[in-house]
Every structure is written in C-alpha cells, then in structure tokens.
Structure 1
Amino acid sequence: MATEPQQSTHEAKRGAFSSRKVFILAAIGSAVGLGNIWRFPYVAYDNGGGAFMIPYLVALLTAGIPFLFLDYAIGHRHRGSAPLSFARMSRPAEGIGWWQVGICFVIAVYYAAVIAWALRYTFFSVNEAWGDDPEGFFIGEFLQVSDPGVTADPVAGVLVPLLLIWVVVVGIMLAGVQKGVGMTSVIFIPILIIAFGALVVRSLFLPGAGAGLDALFTPDWGALTEATVWGAAFGQIFFSLSIGFGIMITYSSYVHRHTDMPSSGLVVGFANSGFELLAGIGVFAALGFMAQASGVGVDEVASSGVGLAFIGFPAIISEAPAGALIGVLFFASLVIAGLTSLVSILEVVISAVRDKFDLGRVAATAIVGVPAALLSLGLFSTTSGLHVLDIVDHFINQFGILLVAVVSMVVVSWGIRALPRLGRHLSEGSAITLGLWWRLLIGLVTPAALTYVLAQGFWTDVETPYEGYPTWMLAFFGWGSAALVMLLGYVLAPVPWRGGISLDDPGEPDPAEVRRGAPPGDAGAARSVHDDDEKGAVR
C-alpha cells in the first residue's frame, strides 16, 4: 500500500521555512541590501540615465532571473547547503560550494561594520552631529581614519555599535531558520518598505527634486552603443540579487519540495529591481535638492557608496526641511536592509558547517559567529578600518562573486551537464518551463557577459592600482582575499562528511521508495545529521 512521502531526518533536523511567503520575504531581505540604496542610483545615472533601464531590464531577464532559477534548482533539488548541494550534484564540484562559503564569510566580516556606521548615523541625524563638515566628521572625528596602512588603534565610536550588531545577528542565527532568519524578514521587510517609502515621499517634496529626477531619468541613447554600459548592467544585477555565492542555494533548500520555485523567483527578482528603482527616485530627488541649495549641477553632488551615504546624505539632511526625519528614515533603512542581508550571508556559512561536520545550530553558530565577530571588531573598529574595508569589498565583489558565478555556470552546464535535470526539477508543478531557452542563457549568454565584466575589471585593476592604495595592501587584502576564498574550496572539499550523510542526489528515485509508492521527488533523501529547533515538513 502506498505511503505518504516522508521528509528525511537530515531535512527535518536542519530546519525549514514555514511557508512560501516566509521564503519569499527572506529572499527579498537578502537581495535588498546596501547596494540597492547607494549603488544602483549612481550606476544608472553614470551609464545613460533613463536609457540604462533597457540594458538593466535585459540583464535582469537574461542573466539575473535565470541564474536565480539555477541557484533555486541546485538547492531545492539537492536539499543542502552550497557545498552539500554541489557535492550531491557531482563530488568534484564540492569545492565550488566552499568557495562560495568563503566569500560569504569575508563579506559578513566587513558588511557588519557598515551596518554599525549606519546605526550610529541614525542617532547622529537627530541633532546633525556632523555639523557643517560631514566629510571631515566622517573621516576624522567618527572613523579617525589614518593614512593607508594597518593600525591597531581602536575607535570606540565604531567598536560599541559593531559589537551590538554582532550580538543581535548571532542571536538571530541561534534562533534557527524559521524563528530567526524567517521571522527577521517577516518583521523587518515591511518596516523597511514603509520607512524607505516615507523617505522617498518626503524627498519628492524637496525644492529641486525635479532636477534630480531629470538628471537620473533623462536618457542618453548613445550610451546603449557602449559595451561598458551593458557590462555595468550585468554587474549591477549580480551584485544586487544575492545570486552566485550560495545564499539562494541555501535558502531554497529550506523550502518544501513541491513549492513553485520559478514563480517565487520572479517575485523576488522584480521586487528587488522595484526597490532599486524606488531607491533611485528617493536618492536623486534628495540630490536634486542638494544641488539647488548649493547652486551647482546634480553631477557635482552625485556619488555612490560610502560617500553618498555618510557624506552626501548628511549634507542634504543639514539643509533640508525636517532633515532629522529624512536622516532617521534613511539610515534606519540602511540598518534594516543591511541586517536582513547579513543574516542571509551568515546562514550560508553556518548551514555549510552544520552539514559538513554534523553539528547542531548552537555549536555551528558559535564556530562561525565568534571568529567572524572577532575579525570584524579587530579589523574594522580601528583607524585603518575604512581603507581595509574598501579594498576587500572591491576585490571580493569583482574577483570573488562574479568569478565563482562564471565558474559554477560553466561547470554545471558543460562539466556536469546538469542543466536538463535541474530545469526539469524546477519546472515540475510550475507554469514556467525551464527549457532550451534557459539552458542557452545559463550555458552561453550569462557566462559570456560576466566574463566581459570580469576581464574589464581585471584589466583596470592591473593597469591602475585601485584608488591609489599601496601595492602591498592591494596584494594582501585585495588579491589575497580573493585568492584565499578560492583556496578554501580546495582545502575543505576533501574533508570527509561526518554523521554518515548521503551524497546521493535526493532528486533521483530510490527503487525501494518507488516500490512503496513514494513520489520520485521525495525519494533517496540523505539520512542523518544534526539537532535543531525546528522539526517536520513545511508547506
């Protein structure tokens, strides 16, 4: 007699999202981060304005969402962390998963520091603590930035909020997949939308807002003939969607087997891009006000990254009516967006350690969280923290995330030749069929586009030292960090899996299970591993 399909012991113990809605919110929380707010507006402005939306949309549809589907397929079919999922797909490919884990660990170490800065600036906004010189305050009084180099001189104003961020994040990770990761997104994503929406509305009513929007959206059609503009669009999509470095593989492994994953991917992809567009409107409306107040063009006040957030926006806050409100909304949005992303980044590392070494969540969280926090505090609460962060962020994004994405696509497409079965898996129960069009995009179009972006970035960094930093700093913190995370894959992949975990593909039917009547998609799952706080299947 047929029996109801059973969830494997491994799956039950590692935890799961309680519903598709929680998964979608968690995925959106991961995708919507600091880059959406401070990177996209300037990238769009600097690459054709309104015309940039064409290559951006093309990149979203031909690279971003298709690769999101690839991550979903790998994690959802193989039911494990990034290393476990790759190992179940092909044992020699496990190193790619650990490469992704290494990238996430490095990002977590410095990402927390930026969230800590935003937390302090949320309170600085109330009384405009930066005074008449936001740049001097940020570089001098707040971060106490030293000359390029490495120092051990602590900065108390960064140390305390950074320690608080790590306490909060580790607490979230200890709570588990649903009670920690899932609930964080369920609570904070609606708050983020409300807070940032209020900021945008307020910015639109500032004098000069129209000039800022004109600067952002006025199309430069000639830009569409430039390869660099198309490269910027593909790069932006990968930087903002949290794809290619293990997050979506891990998250999709926590979703019930019969969930419509392609539809969820469309929601996440378009929600992320919608937030980026909203960020562009809010940021450039505020920059238009700043330009008018200063009597200069928008091009003279437009910037991105740390400069926009901690120098440009404080200057706007000081001049704008109800500036304190704008400041609190802006920096609180950065804190919330950063926290949800940091949680997803750490979950990649914790999940991999749990799977590989047969550990419970508390032990794995301690093993990952304590060293990450100590490194973060040691490197980024000092007077040299800004320089180190800038270098590591640039190189780990360019030659970490993008490079591993290209390698994973080539290996899965042409080495393992797994795309047909991954496409069939994700197409089951969905109105979206991942057929030849998807395999061509993942196997040819997207790797080619990202290879161009990589080659362009590599040539630039070799020809001109990044931001003029000393060669030894670029070699150690830049090229060194990018190489170290790659090396991690080769070191950890040969280590045996503990707990008797099966490396069989859970998507392949186990003849014994088929004879008992269980659907093929639920057969052959891995047995074993760790203790956790969540049990049972989720729907």
Structure 2
Amino acid sequence: MALKTPTPGVVGERETWGKKVDFLLSVIGFAVDLANVWRFPYLCYKNGGGAFLVPYCIMLVVGGIPLFYMELALGQFHRKGAITCWGRLVPLFKGIGYAVVLIAFYVDFYYNVIIAWALRFFFASFTTMLPWTNCDNEWNTPACRPFEAIWDVNRTRIRNTTSASLGIAPTTPYTSAASEYFNRAILELQGSEGLHDLGSVKWDMALCLLAVYVICYFSLWKGISTSGKVVWFTALFPYAVLLILLVRGITLPGSATGIQYYLSPNFEAITQPQVWVDAATQVFFSLGPGFGVLLAYASYNKYHNNVYKDAILTSVINSATSFVAGFVIFSVLGYMAHASGRDVQDVATEGPGLVFVVYPAAIATMPGSTFWALIFFMMLLTLGLDSSFGGSEAIITALSDEFPPIGRHRELFVACLFTLYFFVGLASCTKGGFYFFQLLDRYAAGYSILIAGFFEAIAVSWIYGTERFCEDIRDMTGFRPGLYWRVCWRFAAPSFLLFITAYGLLDYEPLQYENYIYPGWANALGWAIAGSSVMCIPTVAIYKLITTKGSFLERLRVLTTPYADSERNGTVHNGMIVSESGGVRLMSAVQTPTTPQQPVGANIPAASAPTLASSPALV
C-alpha cells in the first residue's frame, strides 16, 4: 500500500520551482560537469573508440538511468531532503541520508578548488600574450620551452597521466611553458615536498576560492528562488561555448585525424573487464545518483510532475553532452598532433592535465587566443559552479528538513557552511595543496558513494519494495512503471553498483602522484575519511535497534516500516499516528482496527498490538 499524496494547503506546504525549466536546468547543470569534458572523451578513445559506446549505453540503461529515475522519484514523492526521506522510507536505513550528506560535505571541500583554478586562469587570460605561451617568466626554469620550439625539434611527448602535468619525454631535458605555468605558477608545487609539507597559503588562489564561495552564497542563500534563476546562465552558457569550440575545432588542420582516433571502433577492446568498469564508473559518477542532489532538487517539484519524462530527458542530455564534448576535445588534439608531427595518442590525456595544460597550450597557438581562452575558462567555471550548487543544496535541504530551525535561518546557515568550506579549502590553496586535493579526490567519494548507492538500491527494492515504489510513482504520475524498471531496480541496479565497488576494491593501489608516493598514514587518513561516511549507515541502524522497544523481530518490523511525514499530519499508519514534528507515536486514544492489517514493512512477522503499543515514540 503506497503512502497517500500530500494534500495541497496542509501543514508544511513546500516551496516549489518557479518554472519547470528551473528544475530541469538545475539537474542538467549538476549532472553535466567537468568530467563530461575531461574524462568521457578520453575513456572513449582509450577503450575502443566508438566501440566503447556499447558498454557505456548498456550500463546507462540498466544501471545509470534506473538509479537516476529512482532518486528523482523518491525526492518528488517524499518532498524532503536525504536524511528525512530515508528516515521515513526505511527508518532502519536513515543513516543513508547522513552518509550522503557527509559525502557531499567532503566533496565540496576540494571540488570548489577546481573552480578556483578555472577562475585564476580566466583572470590570467585578460592579456594579449597568454602567460603560458613563453618561458620569460619568473616561475620558468631553464628547461622550459615554448610549445612551438619543442614542436620544431619534434621531440615532444605529452605524458598520459591524470596528474595535471604536461611533460616531455624522459629522453629530453625540456618541459612545456603550459606545464610550468600550471605546476609552478598556479600550484607552485616546487615549494612543497609532499603532503607533510603544505607550505604557505597562495593568496591569489585563496582570493579566487573566496570569490567562488561568494558566488555560491548569493546563488543559494534564498533557496531555489535564486539558484533556479542563476542556472539559466551557468547551465546554458557551456552549451554555447561547446558549440563555438566545436565549429572552431573541426576547421583546424588535423582535426579529422583526432576525431577518427576518438570514434574508430575497436570491438576487441570491449572484451576486457576494465572497459566495462570504466563505462559503469563514468555512467554513475556523471549522472550523480546517490549524492542526494537529485533527491533534494526533486523534492521541490510539484507532486504530480511527470518525473519519468524528466529522468529520461536529463540523463540523455547528459550523455549526449559527453559525446559532443569528445568532438570538441579530439578535434583540438588532432590539431596539436598535426602541428607537432606526432600521433594523437602522444597528446591524448584526461583530468586536470587536459583542461589546464593541453587545451590551453593548443588555444595559445590559435589566432585570437585571448578570446578562446576567456570563453573556455568561463565554460569550465560555469560547469563547475552549478555542480557545486547541487552538492551544497543537497546538504542545506537535508539538514533544513531534518532540523527545521536551520531552514528558518537559511541565510545564516549557508554563510556559516561556506565559511567553513573556505577555511578548510585553504589547505588546497597552499604550495603543497595539490597533494591534499589528490587525497580528497581519491577517498572522499570514490568508494563511499558507491556503497551508499548500493544500500539505497537495496533499501528501495528489497525492503520498501519495488511494487510499493511503483504505486508511489503511479500516485504521482498516473502511470505505473513497467517490468523493465522493476527488474532494473530490484536486480540490475544493485548488481551494477556491487560490480563497480568490488572491482575498485580488488584493483586498489595506494595513492601516488607522479614520483611522490603517499605515506601510509596518508592512505590511512583517506580510508578514515571514506569510512566515516559509510559508517553512518550501520551506526544509525544499530542506534535505532537499541533504542526501539520490543523483541528483535518487533523492532526490525517497526524500523523497516515506512511512515508518513508531517505533510500527512494525522494519517494513521500501522497503529501509529504522525506527530506535528514529523515524528511518529504509537496510537493510544486512537483505536487500532480489529481487522488484521497487511504489514507494510519487510517480510517480518507482525508483532501483536499490545506488545507494539508498549514501544516508545519513534523520532
């Protein structure tokens, strides 16, 4: 039996999006982020070109979109943030809500640093001579050579790493001007020996980070009424730039060769397990289910909104954007290979090294380089911002719904949250900050969000029940999801997440950045960060089992039984009545029906009414 729809006008009526397109742009802006530009194209090239689209599309339809749809539907139905939603869906797994909030909290500590890098590059581009085009600057070494000089001797080789470094083959003594600008001027890695030696704060980067948080604050302080308008620019501007860069890229000499490398299918590659892991990982982290963001955004939808259409539309747009971005990137990589007399494979890379070294180096050789640099880094800035908006909104919404005083003082809470972010983020603005950034990037969300997502899928499909979940969707949209969705939610999606997690753990190697091997204590710290969020799930479950009265089976039954929220105030639910605060108390004055009721929790024997009535109030 599905929980009943909230009645308009009752206590706790929730704010909704001003326009439907505000919601769609917010979701698209969150899902389409930097990874669509710097990771998908390289994965496609590395894993069989056009053949990679086969495992990618399979993983998308059996795992990615079903999880995406599930989280949007949960948010729209319960109209609450992650903590409250999971506490009411399956009280035993309320810890999932705390886990995803903590993960989003950790990610925001370092994700905004990437945006600060883009902002720093943007400011540096206001010049007729881009600073990464020559070697006459104070940060350059005697080994520095402009790209043109290195190309002339045909000895350059861009290392295929994710370390944001554009180097030269070990057999040559040269480094590129673009590489030295990022590593020595922006990061100043030469001033640190590793994570143990962070050094002093780089105040130019600190000011850029502060500017990012000021933008985030004034975009989120009033809730969706402000962020829903800001995303009209931050979500749409990247598409305009991608179109411009695409047209420019395909007109460059050598672009066809780059695109051929990007798309040429090698179907033998898809027989390798790593290719399927890469496809599944890219799908999950690109769409972003499990972070609580989709749930938070959908909670502000109108109850009868067609969430199914939204899920399909936004996930398809996200994947299409990744595909188009590949043409933008590889057309320019083909141009670089053509100009240097090298193969595309010698210039292809991913991660920060692509967008902060390789692409800027290519832009610097084009006529009108200042214009191309400005729009490119503004695109990176906007791609990062609306993804950052999503992570922060997931935290704010979840805590505001669970602790109403926070919602009543939203402006102050957001200011305190971003102040905390800024001061912690200063660690990434030091001369050794990139080592700290790499640590968080590796451990803050990688494993923990997969585990949290797995428990989400299990909680919905096997405890709450796919049949009840489908009834909830029918109550909202007027139609019931078919067999395909039920099979995906019940079997494919959990298997999809378990597959990625298991392979990642089996393939685990201690963190290393170029020649710097992170010490054991650093990896232990990383695992502690990852474990702290995941441990919220069993910790909250154990706490609830201990504090709930009755036999073990009675407690388990109560804690796996969904109950109504404050918007359904007064609704009797399995011998319980909703309190004004949104909690649940057992009926006393209200008479329990004499007709036996079908339990709405998991398949656990029902407790007798007298025993259940002796349990304390659930909160």
Shorter-chain TM-score bucket reads 0.7 to 0.9
Change over 3 Å in CA distance of 1:5–1:403 after alignment to 2: closer
Letter in 2 for 1:470: Y
Report matched runs for 1:520-539 at 5 Å.
none
CA deviations over 1:15-37 (Å, ceiling 9, x no partner): 33123221111100110111111
Contact 2:27–2:314, Cα closer than 8 Å, also in 1: yes
Please say which of residues 66-75 and 386-395 is displaced more in the overlay.
Answer: 386-395
Alignment partner, residue 500 of structure 1: none
Please say which of residues 122-131 and 39-48 is displaced more in the overlay.
Answer: 122-131
Contact 1:113–1:380, Cα closer than 8 Å, also in 2: yes
Alignment partner, residue 612 of structure 2: none
Gaps of 5+ in 2: 1-5, 134-145, 147-176, 548-561, 583-619
Contact 1:398–1:457, Cα closer than 8 Å, also in 2: no
Helix, strand or coil for the counterpart of 2:305?
coil
Report matched runs for 1:120-519 at 5 Å.
120-126=120-126, 127-131=129-133, 132=146, 133-145=177-189, 146-150=192-196, 151-179=198-226, 181-358=227-404, 359=406, 360=408, 361-377=410-426, 379-414=427-462, 416-428=463-475, 430=477, 433-462=480-509, 465-467=511-513, 469-472=517-520, 474-488=522-536, 504-506=563-565
Contact 1:75–1:251, Cα closer than 8 Å, also in 2: yes
Contact 1:316–1:323, Cα closer than 8 Å, also in 2: no
Distance 1:489 1:61 in 2: 28
Q: Does 1:34 align with 2:34?
A: yes
1:478 is displaced (CA, Å) by: 2.2
Change over 3 Å in CA distance of 1:444–1:304 after alignment to 2: same
Letter in 2 for 1:154: V
Letter in 2 for 1:27: V
Helix, strand or coil for the counterpart of 1:398?
coil
Change over 3 Å in CA distance of 1:7–1:66 after alignment to 2: farther
Distance 2:241 2:490 in 1: 40
Contact 2:304–2:477, Cα closer than 8 Å, also in 1: no
Helix, strand or coil for the counterpart of 1:461?
coil
1:216 is displaced (CA, Å) by: 0.3
Letter in 2 for 1:128: L
Distance 1:113 1:308 in 2: 16
1:527 is displaced (CA, Å) by: 5.1
Contact 1:31–1:341, Cα closer than 8 Å, also in 2: yes
1:491 is displaced (CA, Å) by: 6.5
Which structure: larger Rg?
2
Contact 1:396–1:478, Cα closer than 8 Å, also in 2: yes
Letter in 2 for 1:129: P
Contact 2:571–2:578, Cα closer than 8 Å, also in 1: no
Q: Does 1:71 align with 2:117?
A: no
Contact 1:198–1:329, Cα closer than 8 Å, also in 2: no
1:108 is displaced (CA, Å) by: 0.9
Please say which of residues 442-451 and 245-254 is displaced more in the overlay.
Answer: 442-451
Alignment partner, residue 536 of structure 1: none
Distance 1:373 1:39 in 2: 27
Letter in 1 for 2:442: H
1:419 is displaced (CA, Å) by: 2.2
Distance 1:258 1:507 in 2: 19
1:512 is displaced (CA, Å) by: 6.6
Change over 3 Å in CA distance of 1:203–1:420 after alignment to 2: same
CA deviations over 1:337-377 (Å, ceiling 9, x no partner): 10001001000111122122222212331342221222112
Helix, strand or coil for the counterpart of 1:221?
coil
Letter in 2 for 1:382: T
Q: Which has the higher contact order (CA 8 A, sep 6+)?
A: 1
Contact 1:116–1:161, Cα closer than 8 Å, also in 2: yes
Contact 2:566–2:580, Cα closer than 8 Å, also in 1: no
Letter in 2 for 1:108: D
Alpha-carbon RMSD: 2.6
Distance 2:73 2:179 in 1: 46
Letter in 1 for 2:103: I
CA deviations over 1:25-62 (Å, ceiling 9, x no partner): 11001101111111111111111111111111111111
Change over 3 Å in CA distance of 1:169–1:277 after alignment to 2: same
1:439 is displaced (CA, Å) by: 2.3
Contact 1:28–1:272, Cα closer than 8 Å, also in 2: yes
Contact 2:107–2:441, Cα closer than 8 Å, also in 1: yes
Letter in 2 for 1:148: G
1:488 is displaced (CA, Å) by: 4.6
Contact 1:8–1:527, Cα closer than 8 Å, also in 2: no
Helix, strand or coil for the counterpart of 2:265?
coil
Distance 2:10 2:328 in 1: 47
Helix, strand or coil for the counterpart of 1:417?
helix
CA deviations over 1:91-123 (Å, ceiling 9, x no partner): 111100110001101111101100010111123
1:476 is displaced (CA, Å) by: 4.4
Change over 3 Å in CA distance of 1:527–1:296 after alignment to 2: farther
Helix, strand or coil for the counterpart of 2:310?
helix
Alignment partner, residue 108 of structure 1: 108
CA deviations over 1:122-148 (Å, ceiling 9, x no partner): 233343112331111111121111222
Distance 1:319 1:425 in 2: 56
Letter in 1 for 2:130: E
Change over 3 Å in CA distance of 1:277–1:183 after alignment to 2: same
Change over 3 Å in CA distance of 1:174–1:59 after alignment to 2: same
Distance 2:213 2:569 in 1: 43
Alignment partner, residue 499 of structure 1: none
